[in-house]
Chain A
């Protein structure tokens, strides 16, 4: 009496199949509502122009040099917003009952957060292109070769993948759309406590330590290094002095902590 069915359940194959279906869902949501996407993508460009010309004229650094310094910082700061988008989406789905609907289906427990995070990385990749184009227009250049640039983009997307999982876990934890929106807004301060917008060597000692231990600083320094925009500061804290290796380590640690937490939270619904 059952409807004809196909394909696998369970196993890695099942995870890939369900994950692909959930990825398709997220991309369809973006396609159904392109206005939101455009709005979120214009944000870093607006900030690049504002910061680049307003701060750029006030800092000791020459304006053009500051804008080249700023582009990698803004890309990483935007990638850190994965916490916000991941959290809001997961909380919205939970709040509106979509999460529970999916949990009653024979769907691999990791597929839903996986589909969400992969979709988010793809959208971020697309959103990086206009930021880089505007960056080129205001004086930023790739000065470290094509391989370095490819590595920079790859690291950026890996970082986004990690922050989205943090967000998904927090969203499943809050379960409330509005609370997630409020909390997500607070993540705006995270890049302010890093070297994304300013060099950290002018900060008071303790604040400089905090800022340099912020994963955003390591990833930003790595991007500046790979793009060839700025030298690696050698007097900085440990995570920043070998930025590429230590950024990869940061991403690995964040994923190792938050992927299992998010999947477990999703599977049990917290109860």
Chain B
């Protein structure tokens, strides 16, 4: 059985003046799957989506979306895609219902009124349907944006950071909607800064770094590659070196030391490492342990591991959403 790709790009490049936003993006999204483009602000995720949705023309490279050439058959591509993002918005001066009817008409949907009602109902917007879209809450607005990209069921749906800035309840509704779309056979390409979001929704993740896909794999593969972040706080500075030696052994990675906070940490390469084992090993080595933790990898950790350790220190990674600042002040152990 051969795989059909809903999105297949080769060597896509885009420059804005002196900024080389995309430097050869190769991406393959199998039909009916959810693909997460994961990366920090400035990595090129949004540029990639703008190219793949015909909003920008590539400077080099080629792509097929929903079976059509992105440049030569742009009109055919537009007939088969849906787009939701910060920059692709509904009209705030129209009501939700007016917006959906407008987009349904432009998509040549035969019964625009019925389709609109069905979408309003599906996204819990019926009660707010006759309010100007600009007056809706952030979560409702985002659901209306999503509904607007579904008026004519798209073959490929592009979601650019669909949950950024949303509260957990709104976020969960968007996630449920994406799962339902996938169950219906829609291919979804979503960009996110949140590892958790990609983890929950995506069949495959493409890590984007400085205009290229740096790594692809399933969420499980990615996590296995990165492992958890192990951290130990010791009672006095003299014990830091000993603790670092233990961490080096159990995590298989060079630990980083923070003398000020008397802390040593490392991203584990061993996915089977547990907290009890970490504590036992430190204790057995006579480390005066004050605190120890083992937490899921953050986007920082993923990038440090999979992009030669420079994913977030060259101005690309200011917005890594769930990084908690634990890298601050760390230095690599000698």
Contacts and interface: CB of A to CB of B under 8 A. Distances in A.
A106 B89 contact: no
B79 A9 contact: yes
A17 to B, nearest CB: 8
A2 B107 CA distance: 11
Contacts of B56: 269, 271
B92 interface: yes
Contacts of B102: 21, 24-25
A29 B87 contact: no
Contact of B55 (A3, A4, A25, A104): A104
B106 A4 contact: no
Given A21-B102, A106-B78, A106-B79, A32 B110 contact: no
Which one of A6, A98, A105, A107 has the highest number of Cβ atoms from chain B below 10 Å of its Cβ?
A105
A4 B90 CA distance: 23
Contacts of A104: 53-55, 78, 81, 83, 88
Interface stretch (B93-101, B195-203, B260-268): B93-101
Contact of A268 (B57, B79, B93, B109): B57
A21 B98 contact: no
A10 B89 contact: no
Contact of B108 (A7, A24, A269): A7
B314 interface: no
B115 A3 contact: yes
Nearest to A30: B93
Contact of A29 (B88, B94, B110): B94
Contact of B106 (A8, A32, A105, A268): A105
Which one of B16, B54, B55 has the highest number of Cβ atoms from chain A below 10 Å of its Cβ?
B55
B152 A3 contact: yes
Contacts of B55: 100, 103-104, 269
B94 A4 contact: no
A100 B87 contact: yes
A33 B57 CA distance: 36
- A contacts with B: majority SS: loop
Contacts of A18: 106
A169 B153 CA distance: 33
A101 B75 contact: no
Contact of B152 (A2, A32, A96, A268): A2
Contact of A2 (B54, B88, B153): B153
B110 to A, nearest CB: 4
Contact of A32 (B109, B132, B184): B132
Interface in A1-60: 1-10, 18, 21, 24-25, 28-29, 32-33
Contacts of A5: 107-110, 152
Nearest to B184: A1
B326 interface: no
A9 B148 contact: no
A97 interface: yes
A21 B110 contact: no
Contacts of A1: 153, 184-185
B159 to A, nearest CB: 13
A179 to B, nearest CB: 18
A97 B95 contact: no
A28 B94 contact: yes
Contacts of A93: 91
Interface string A155-195: 00000000000000000000000000000000000000000
Q: Which 9 A-B pairs have the closest CB atoms?
A: A97-B89, A5-B108, A101-B88, A106-B78, A6-B110, A104-B83, A4-B110, A7-B108, A106-B79
Given A24-B102, A93-B91, 14 more contacts: A2-B153, A3-B110, A3-B115, A4-B111, A9-B75, A29-B94, A96-B89, A97-B89, A98-B91, A101-B83, A104-B55, A104-B78, A105-B107, A106-B106
Interface of A: 1-10, 18, 21, 24-25, 28-29, 32-33, 93, 96-98, 100-107, 268-269, 271
19 contacts: A1-B153, A3-B109, A3-B110, A3-B115, A3-B153, A6-B110, A7-B108, A8-B108, A9-B79, A32-B94, A32-B98, A96-B92, A97-B86, A98-B90, A100-B88, A100-B89, A103-B54, A104-B54, A107-B106
